[in-house]
Structure 1
Amino acid sequence: MSEIQTTDIEGRPQVSQGSLPLMGLSALGIVFGDIGTSPLYTFKTILGTAAAPSNPATVLGALSLVLWTLFIITTIKYVSFAMRVDNDGEGGILALMALLGVKKQQRPTIVAVGLFGAALIYGDGAITPAISVLSALEGLNMATPALQPYVVPAAVVILLALFAIQSQGTARIGHLFGPVMLLWFLTMAVMGIAGIMRHPSVFAALNPYYGLSYLFSNGATGFLVLGAVFLCVTGAEALYADMGHFGRGPIKLAWFAIVFPSLILNYAGQAALVLEGAPTDGNIFFRLCPEMLLIPLIVLATVATIIASQSIITGAFSMTRQAIQLGWLPRLRIKQTSSEGYGQIYVGLVNWLLMIVTVALTIGFGKSDNLAAAYGIAVSLTMLMTSALLFIAMREIWHWSLLAAGAVAACFLVVDSAFFLANLTKIAEGGYVPLILAVSVYSVMWIWHRGWAAVMARLHETLIPVQQFMQIIKAKNIPRVPGTAVFLTRTERDTPPVMQWHVRHNRALHEHLFVLRVEILSVPWLPSGDRIKLEEIVPNFWRAEARFGFMERPHIPELLTASRSLGCTVDLNDVTYYVGHETVIRREDGMGLPAWQEEFFAVMERNAIHVSDFFSLPTDQVVEIGRQVSI
């Protein structure tokens, strides 16, 4: 037994005693689906790019490049380095960006790198299901060519069904993901061993000389092959991004004990088959399988690609929640699909947009070979940006010297840059797709954050000190009515605008006042003892600041109940919540945002979910006060 990271009933991380192998098995189903299904299309894409695909030097060079890419990028960069840089157990490029203090410091370059890297992952989330399911079903072409016209329609049906069931959650079938992926990896390993036995000399490719020799002796063709080689590590980012679900230990165990050896054996088996004289057209992966077992393998491959796609979609949901909490996306309706884990969520808008893009890519490209060009550029650019942030983390978090951090980061950056540049040549062949998707998502994030900053600036222009406001209440004989009014505000000081507007319109004020500001911190979780700070500004006028991590669910009624233990004397048994609803309009003085940004932000703001839903407020106790804010 050993310590592993799990979550409690509230979704907060906790370290408990459990079976490391069991958690490693679970990680197989969540973390390794993408990288685990890449043998379906990687090696055939590499040889399809090479000038002489059957040449032994080409085959051994390609295999050597694949094996060393898996080792350098996945084993060294992500497992050995990136997974040591966690934000209270959470990983991924947004968590890393938050860890570097971007919420408290003006670091626009780090923000831009982190956000664009996150935006690229949405492109990956659309392409992964399309290329994975297509590549699995293309095995039907080998079973019988007569089924070829049905591959794309079957892929579309599977993808539509996959996205349609997302709102139901995966808790009931999620426990099967690990065993199915274990069977998949073991099957790949056995197939690989069978291929290697037919040409054992294939293991000469473990010598990096073969890869480097091919790379530097084939001119532009050798360099372009890197774009296809990179497909073997698509999904490596998931090891880091999903670290918060399992902890470092189970993921490392699954990688070294099951995934890495299975991938090596299968790629080596495919290469051995080609060295023995097997044709390189069609899908080399399925040629490893005995003909009588081909249909069961296709079924297993299809299930494995569905699991891989599920993991990518769930990851997109989780990243969306992080972006909302950190203030980079408008509030969207998030449905908790299971009480078993905080990661079991559903974001409807993201799901349907991903579905539309994924199905369009499947129909538009038609074959996994065609989609491969679009796939690599998104992942390679994300990894390049992660390497840049890792360099900053080495300096600021690990306090490495400039020389040591620079040397390690330079190695990662050189490798990532080579893969990115090789993929960059494929822009015209489909590489533009993830770039367009990423630019679109990044623009939404940037405009939302910029618009909200403009709203906050305008609200702060009209603030009145609390003592002055209470004097006005007294001077104008504003009636004080029984009960407690809780005003939610985003301002850090003085009288909240929503309280001013309430008095202006209703000409009355409650006896007990509680002003609450909620701040989302750049850490995923926060100890309950650090949750709230209280201060009594004047008698019966309390101001509180509640703080949550970006992976937590704000629940205001529970928070107010907890405030009693901190000395709050207001009556919380008779509470009315007051929230503001801004209607954004254009400034007339020409000092505001450009018109197109203001209009786009206004559309997003109107369609964001109500703040009472976001903070779990009881709907029958909420009063909404509308007001116009010119930006």
Structure 2
Amino acid sequence: MKDTSTGASSGEAVREGPDTFKRTALLALGALGIVYGDIGTSPLYALRECFTGPHGIAPTPQNVLGVLSLIFWTLLIIVSVKYLIFVMRADNRGEGGILALMALAMQRQRGQSTPVARPVLITLGIFGAALLYGDGLITPAITVLSAVEGLSVATPVFEPFIVPITLAILTVLFVVQRHGTARIGSLFGPVMCVWFFTLAALGVKELVHNPAVLSALSPVHGVMLLVHNGWHGFLVLGGVFLVVTGCEALYADMGHFGWKPIRWAWFSVVLPSLMLNYLGQGALLLRDASAARNPFYLLAPSWMLYPLVALSAVAGVIASQALISGAFSLTRQAMQLGYSPRMEVVHTSAEEMGQIYLPGINWALMVGVFTLVVTFRSSSALASAYGIAVSTTMVITSIMAYVVARERWGVSRALAIPVAGLFLTVELSLFSANAMKLADGGWFPLLLAVVIFTLMTTWKRGRAILAAKLRASSIPLKELLGSFGDHPPLRVSGTAIFMTGNAEGTPPALLHNLKHNKVLHEQVVLLTILSEDVPHVPGAERVVVEPLEQGFVRVVATYGFMENPSIPDVLKRCREKGLQFQLMGTSFFLGRETLIPTKRPGMAVWREALFSWMSRNARSATAYFRIPPNRVVELGSQVEL
């Protein structure tokens, strides 16, 4: 879901031309910085939480080998098999992510599912998207905090300054968002390459002294840990899960890099580096159990601590940047799919359309992240809130991937059920272990997800009710045009463009204009902008121009959920299709509704009031669609919900 592409808009470019290997390698380098920032910084805290967290177990040799075994097989099953081999096949015209997967499932379901299946899929998809905002808040807080905490390993003097330093770094991170990441984004890959090399080197340094830790790769140790520790062993899965918290990025960023570079980066660099580091930390614990307080930093020699803290902080910032940009991308998709009010979208790069900045989301994230840092004050405390949101999203992804496999790919139940069952068994176990963190802070991302889910569904339902009310108060366009034969209105020169969400009926603004101004322009364009449940709509299919009678023209412009509607773009394509007009002689008529909550059937009064508030605070259509403001006429009306 992260729109921080370093140069490729899809994986298609990887498969063309004579320099395929070079292109794939460069894209794999970019993927290191964008895709793997979150999962790549997990060694900072994941293994530590398994032994020192609220549900940690004693760092005995048997437990250390058992935890390492669980980490290895979790990475293998969840990341390598589920996401990289299966889920990444479910691309929506090259794009991935929870909303893209939901849209893909819905494309196939329309003519085949039961009436209950469609609402269930939509509910799961929207709730999964809402959960990702919680991930977007916690990731910057926990990664930067855990990096800065390395200073206290070097000397206790820094202990009182960890939170202030963290807040200072995060302040810079959020402030620079408005400038975009086009310039510094090219550095993400090389920096993360150094980071993964450092992870591997630190692990190997300790591993050579105790190679017996390699026996942890056997699943037997993981099974024995669960058997011998019983309920306590099950709860440690909540710490183990922290090693895969960045998995959704693999799927969400597929549209920027393609599946091949992402797989290359994982199997050639990321997985070996992560496992070498985890094994190195484990070897250290076998030698010195007291190192469990911070095994990552204690792997490093004393002279390397301060440079390692600096590198960890940079890696944490890169991981945070990916999640912040992902929140921007997710919000834009929600707006296009009709689940969010219009917000300001700023394009920060002339070359990369994925480089966007949403000021409202940015400052809301900043307030949320600061609140988390000040409230929890340590990465260990934050780890208790981390995991439940991501594990829930993973379960939803598995369910939707099963639907796509059955309905779109035609995979038989005999194959789809066992594969999905394997993934769900592992993920539901991890989810259950994370559910034990509810009282320790796990409630926060769930509460946030419920709030965002309520806002998104309220907006969608409210827009549907409003559209139905406007259709009911309108009249068929054919009937209106027929009435002009007996009572033709006064026609004035120029072109009037009436924007309407109903591609068939008469725009309310047109009726109000006739009622109050009693005139009609020589050329009347009825413009409808639609959003499809596909990421991108080909340019040739963007605009459809349909001439009607008596100087009326119907224009329907269609955009994908990864695209931003633009009136200048629509007008340009209209001219190419033969619709002639002078912009200085054109007026845009928009309707502005004042919404009044009522007790009529539709939504609860409190949701109607919430929808009315959201509507008042949404960005104006003039600014959102980039309509020339000096050519706009707004006509207001009251609508009872």
TM range (shorter): over 0.9
Aligned with residue 613 of structure 2, among 593, 596, 603? 603
State whether structure 2 residue 32 is matched by structure 1 residue 22.
no
Report the Cα offset of residue 28 of structure 1: 1.0
Contact persistence 2:542–2:558 (CA under 8 A) = yes
The CA distance in 2 between the partners of 1:172 and 1:238, in whole Å, is: 21
The CA distance in 2 between the partners of 1:289 and 1:269, in whole Å, is: 11
Aligned with residue 371 of structure 2, among 326, 342, 360? 360
Contact persistence 1:12–1:552 (CA under 8 A) = no
**Counterpart in the other structure of 1:207:** 218
**Counterpart in the other structure of 2:132:** 121
Report the Cα offset of residue 572 of structure 1: 6.2
State whether structure 2 residue 168 is matched by structure 1 residue 157.
yes
Give RMSD over aligned pairs: 1.9
State whether structure 2 residue 623 is matched by structure 1 residue 613.
yes
Contact persistence 2:50–2:57 (CA under 8 A) = no
Report the Cα offset of residue 207 of structure 1: 0.6
Report the Cα offset of residue 278 of structure 1: 4.5
Aligned with residue 100 of structure 2, among 87, 90, 95? 95
State whether structure 2 residue 629 is matched by structure 1 residue 624.
no
Residue identity opposite 1:381 in structure 2: T
The CA distance in 2 between the partners of 1:566 and 1:171, in whole Å, is: 35
Change in 2 beyond 3 A, CA 1:392/1:103:
closer
1:413-562 equivalences under 5 Å are: 413-562=424-573
**Counterpart in the other structure of 1:333:** 344
1:59-458 equivalences under 5 Å are: 59-101=64-106, 105=110, 107-458=118-469
**Counterpart in the other structure of 2:47:** 43
The CA distance in 2 between the partners of 1:38 and 1:145, in whole Å, is: 23
The CA distance in 1 between the partners of 2:525 and 2:31, in whole Å, is: 45
Change in 2 beyond 3 A, CA 1:159/1:616:
same
Report the Cα offset of residue 14 of structure 1: 6.5
Change in 2 beyond 3 A, CA 1:103/1:533:
farther
Deviations 1:318-361 (A, max 9, x none): 00000000000000111111112122111111111111111111
The CA distance in 1 between the partners of 2:505 and 2:187, in whole Å, is: 54
SS of corresponding position for 1:20: helix
Range with bigger deviation, 333-342 or 85-94: 333-342
SS of corresponding position for 1:327: coil
Report the Cα offset of residue 514 of structure 1: 1.0
Change in 2 beyond 3 A, CA 1:498/1:358:
same
Deviations 1:197-243 (A, max 9, x none): 11100000111010011112211101000000000001011010111
Contact persistence 1:91–1:243 (CA under 8 A) = yes
Report the Cα offset of residue 499 of structure 1: 0.9
SS of corresponding position for 2:475: coil
Change in 2 beyond 3 A, CA 1:52/1:406:
closer
Contact persistence 1:184–1:300 (CA under 8 A) = yes
Report the Cα offset of residue 492 of structure 1: 2.5
Range with bigger deviation, 448-457 or 533-542: 533-542
The CA distance in 2 between the partners of 1:63 and 1:34, in whole Å, is: 19
The CA distance in 2 between the partners of 1:307 and 1:30, in whole Å, is: 8
Report the Cα offset of residue 246 of structure 1: 1.1
Deviations 1:393-448 (A, max 9, x none): 11012110112111111111111100000000110001001001111110100111
Contact persistence 1:513–1:570 (CA under 8 A) = no
Report the Cα offset of residue 558 of structure 1: 2.6
Report the Cα offset of residue 88 of structure 1: 0.7
Change in 2 beyond 3 A, CA 1:149/1:51:
closer
Change in 2 beyond 3 A, CA 1:173/1:505:
same
Range with bigger deviation, 181-190 or 616-625: 616-625
Report the Cα offset of residue 569 of structure 1: 5.8
SS of corresponding position for 2:386: helix
Structure 1-normalised TM-score?
A: 0.96
Report the Cα offset of residue 570 of structure 1: 6.0
Residue identity opposite 2:37 in structure 1: G
Report the Cα offset of residue 591 of structure 1: 3.3
Report the Cα offset of residue 494 of structure 1: 2.7
Aligned with residue 61 of structure 2, among 56, 59, 69? 56
Report the Cα offset of residue 477 of structure 1: 4.3
Structure 2-normalised TM-score?
A: 0.94
SS of corresponding position for 1:331: coil
SS of corresponding position for 2:503: coil
State whether structure 2 residue 601 is matched by structure 1 residue 591.
yes
SS of corresponding position for 1:289: coil
Residue identity opposite 1:78 in structure 2: Y
Report the Cα offset of residue 571 of structure 1: 6.2
Identity over aligned residues, as a percent?
A: 46
Q: Structure 1 stretches of 5 or more lacking a match? A: none
The CA distance in 2 between the partners of 1:309 and 1:468, in whole Å, is: 56
SS of corresponding position for 1:547: strand
Residue identity opposite 2:573 in structure 1: A
SS of corresponding position for 2:290: coil
1:543-582 equivalences under 5 Å are: 543-568=554-579, 574-582=585-593
The CA distance in 1 between the partners of 2:569 and 2:448, in whole Å, is: 39
SS of corresponding position for 2:384: helix
SS of corresponding position for 1:524: coil
Number of positions where the alignment pairs a residue of Structure 1 with one of Structure 2: 624
Range with bigger deviation, 560-569 or 17-26: 560-569
The CA distance in 2 between the partners of 1:541 and 1:13, in whole Å, is: 43
Range with bigger deviation, 529-538 or 35-44: 529-538
Residue identity opposite 1:59 in structure 2: V
The CA distance in 2 between the partners of 1:48 and 1:115, in whole Å, is: 35
Contact persistence 2:12–2:258 (CA under 8 A) = no
Aligned with residue 34 of structure 1, among 34, 38, 45? 38
Change in 2 beyond 3 A, CA 1:471/1:321:
same
Q: Structure 2 stretches of 5 or more lacking a match? A: none
The CA distance in 2 between the partners of 1:7 and 1:435, in whole Å, is: 35
The CA distance in 1 between the partners of 2:62 and 2:251, in whole Å, is: 34
Contact persistence 1:54–1:280 (CA under 8 A) = no
Residue identity opposite 2:98 in structure 1: I
The CA distance in 2 between the partners of 1:456 and 1:92, in whole Å, is: 29
Range with bigger deviation, 589-598 or 214-223: 589-598
The CA distance in 2 between the partners of 1:167 and 1:572, in whole Å, is: 31
The CA distance in 2 between the partners of 1:173 and 1:302, in whole Å, is: 16
Report the Cα offset of residue 52 of structure 1: 5.1
Report the Cα offset of residue 389 of structure 1: 0.5
The CA distance in 2 between the partners of 1:257 and 1:13, in whole Å, is: 18
Report the Cα offset of residue 564 of structure 1: 3.7
Residue identity opposite 2:70 in structure 1: L
SS of corresponding position for 1:517: strand
